[in-house]
Structures are given as structure tokens and as C-alpha cells.
Amino acid sequence: MRILGIETSCDETAAAVVADGNNIMSNIVASQIDIHSRYGGIVPEVASRQHVLTIVPVISKAMSEASVTWQDIDGIAVTFGPGLAGSLLVGVNTAKAIALATQLPIAGINHLEAHIYANWLTVPPKEKADIRFPCLCLIVSGGHSDLILMRGHGQFEKLGRTRDDAAGEAFDKAARILNLGYPGGPAIERVASSGTPHLALPRAWLKGSHDFSFSGLKTALWHLVQKEKILTNPSLVADAAASFQYAIVDVLVAKTIEAAREFRVRQILLSGGVAANKLLTERLLNASPFPARVPPPHLCTDNAAMVAACGYYHFQNGQLDGYELDVVPSLSLGSPQGTGNSSPHDSNS
């Protein structure tokens, strides 16, 4: 089964063709980073206009690189939330137009669920059963830091979330404090590699809860930078970046393993843009007593192959949508009560 995936939730215009949920035939990502970096962050209006310009060429390229025509495609999977409303609308309306013209079925995909399914893209077909449920999923991106218990395909229960800044957002804000530019995660990681994490920064453990909080850490970094005049000394900037990265990773790794123990999962799945961070993946893989998976960095950050992989399981389960599919910018994944699936609430991030 070949699925065309379309992703426009934020600042990447992406399309991919994926066969049978894990064979990537093409994976095209047109990043808008150069356009937004001059503003120090994403400008929603600029993002949606840029999606309008690039969506058709990106889909055409995904089709031609996969050497397929519309007759070879079995369905269209498109991100309908969470994300920027104007950006999501471009992907969803393009998907609906193609579905109308080709009579292909369409499935609306939760971006957070798609991030989790990036893990299935790296599993050889014969080893698909090696991802064993229940899984504990840590999704760390620009807008989310969620701990999700996944009991089976399409079955999600939210255990924890961020109470303020998401992990990626904290990286982006810390990079701004340290004058390292946008996006912050890769910039902090690069500069941190020449520093040592010896500066004292706080960790919010939030004992008794699976939630996260990173805004206190960010504020502490700001005070440290002022007090120690960090910006006047490049080696102190490197130490501050390393210390900040270490503090975030400490909390993410410890709380993920703690939740994995509590819920006796058989697998840990890491995903989202922050999962591209080497310190995070190395420390989680080393410390975890459970088998843990992390997609390669280009499948952690936003892409459409993960949307198509997720779509494959929706089509397998008959979870299709009609032309009434609309965007849900504040969509969340997994009800806290463990009763259900995607729900359009919880717009904390």
C-alpha cells in the first residue's frame, strides 16, 4: 500500500511517498528556516504564504522521486493538527483537492502521532513485530513535551505534558539568551560541544507527576548570563550552552525511565525535533533498562514520511476522513483518562 504524506503544520513544507508503512520511496522537505531566522522565530503569516508557494512543487517532486503516478497511490495522509492554522489549511486543502481530482481516500493525521510513527520507518518489514506494546513515547518538539503510553496502534494515553515551555521551545529561548540564533536546538548543541556542563542550573523534577517544566531553567539561565557576564566570553557561552543542554536532558531521561518502570512498558520510543539531540539520545539509550528506539535526526524533525507511515495504519484500520476534514490547531494526543485518542483540546504549547 503506497501512501502520499503531506505535512505543513509549522515551517516545513513536506511531502513523501511511503510503501507499507516503512519503505520510504521519497521524502521531500522544503524548510523555511532561512526566511524565518531573520525574525528570530516563526512568523505565522509568512509561513502559510510560503506553504502556498511550495506545496505543489514539493508534492510533484515527491511523486517523481518515487517514480509513481496517481494510479500507483492508494491514499493521502495529511496533518490536520496541532500547528499553525494558516499553515495547516494549506496542506489539508491541497490534500482535499487532490483527493477530489483522483478519487483517492484521505486520512487526517495528528502531527504528534506522526512523530511517534517515525520510529516505524526504521524497522525492516520482518522486524515490525519487534516494536512491542505497551510503548512509552516521549515526544519532544518545538511545541510539545509529552509522555504518552501507547497500548497499540491508535491507542494513546497521555501521562504527562509540559506545564509551560516545551523542550524545543526552551532550547530556542535559551539560544536567544545566548545570542546563538534560530533554531536554537541545533545551535545550542553545536556550541555546547566545545563547553563543559559545570554551571549550576536547576531541574524541575515535579515529583509525583509525569509533567515537565522548563521555564524556571530558562529564567535561571537568563539570571546567570547577566550575573556572570557570560556573553563577554565565548568559552563561558559554550559552558552555559552545555550546562543548559545537560539540565534538560537530565530531566527528560530520568522522567522517561521512571514512567517506563511505573507502567512496565516493553519499549521506549523517542520522537520529535529535540530527539535529534545527540546527548539526549545517547544518554537515554545508555541509561534505559528497556529497549529504546530513536529515529535518525532527519526523521525526528518535521517531515512527511512520518505522516505517511502513520497514515498507513489509519488506512489499515479503516480510519478515513471525508471532504469535511478541517484543521484543528490545538489538537492533542491521548486523553488523560486513558479512554481515547486524539482530542481537540489542551493547547498549552
Task: Mark residue 83 as left, alpha or beta (left: phi above 0; alpha: psi -120 to 50; beta: remaining).
Answer: left
Query: Cα–Cα distance between 296 and 171 in angstroms, integer?
Result: 20
Site for ligand KG4 in 274-293 (CB under 6 A): 274, 276-277
b/e 100-124 (16+ beta carbons within 10 angstroms → b) = eeeebbbbbbbbbbbbbbbbbbbbe
- State which of residues 141, 145, 303, 349 lies at the interface with Zn ion (CB under 5 A): 141
The option from Zn ion, ligand KG4, none interacting with 189 (CB < 5 to 8 A, set by class) reads: ligand KG4
**Which triple of cell numbers denotes residue 344?**
481537540
Handedness of CA 152, 300, 185, 199 (dihedral sign): positive
63, 98 in Cβ contact below 8 A?
no
244, 188 in Cβ contact below 8 A?
yes
The distance of closest approach from Cβ of residue 76 to Zn ion in the complex, given in angstroms and rounded to an integer, is 19
By CB under 6 A, tell whether 295 contacts ligand KG4.
Answer: no
The distance of closest approach from Cβ of residue 338 to ligand KG4 in the complex, given in angstroms and rounded to an integer, is 24
Site for ligand KG4 in 160-219 (CB under 6 A): 168-169, 171-172, 183-186, 189
> Which residue number, 10 or 199, has a Cβ lying nearer to ligand KG4?
10
By CB under 5 A, tell whether 146 contacts Zn ion.
Answer: no
If you count them, how many residues does the chain have? Answer: 349
The distance of closest approach from Cβ of residue 101 to ligand KG4 in the complex, given in angstroms and rounded to an integer, is 29
The distance of closest approach from Cβ of residue 300 to Zn ion in the complex, given in angstroms and rounded to an integer, is 9
The distance of closest approach from Cβ of residue 177 to Zn ion in the complex, given in angstroms and rounded to an integer, is 23
The option from ligand KG4, Zn ion, none interacting with 146 (CB < 5 to 8 A, set by class) reads: none
The option from ligand KG4, Zn ion, none interacting with 346 (CB < 5 to 8 A, set by class) reads: none
Query: Cα–Cα distance between 117 and 101 in angstroms, integer?
Result: 28
Sort 204 into a burial class: Cβ within 10 Å, 0-12 / 13-18 / 19+.
middle
The distance of closest approach from Cβ of residue 264 to ligand KG4 in the complex, given in angstroms and rounded to an integer, is 28
By CB under 5 A, tell whether 302 contacts Zn ion.
Answer: yes
Site for ligand KG4 in 326-345 (CB under 6 A): none
By CB under 6 A, tell whether 142 contacts ligand KG4.
Answer: yes
> Which residue number, 253 or 274, has a Cβ lying nearer to ligand KG4?
274
Q: Which amino acid is at 229?
A: K
Element holding 168 (H helix, E strand): helix 167-177
Site for ligand KG4 in 12-31 (CB under 6 A): none
The one segment of 72-80, 136-144, 220-228, 327-335 that binds Zn ion by CB under 5 A: 136-144
**Which triple of cell numbers denotes residue 81?**
493538527
146, 252 in Cβ contact below 8 A?
no
What is the CB-side half-sphere exposure of residue 211 using CA atoms within 13 A?
A: 12
* Strand-pair partners of 155: 152
143, 40 in Cβ contact below 8 A?
no
Chain contacts with ligand KG4 (rule: CB under 6 A):
10, 141-143, 168-169, 171-172, 183-186, 189, 272-274, 276-277, 301-302
Chain contacts with Zn ion (rule: CB under 5 A):
141, 302
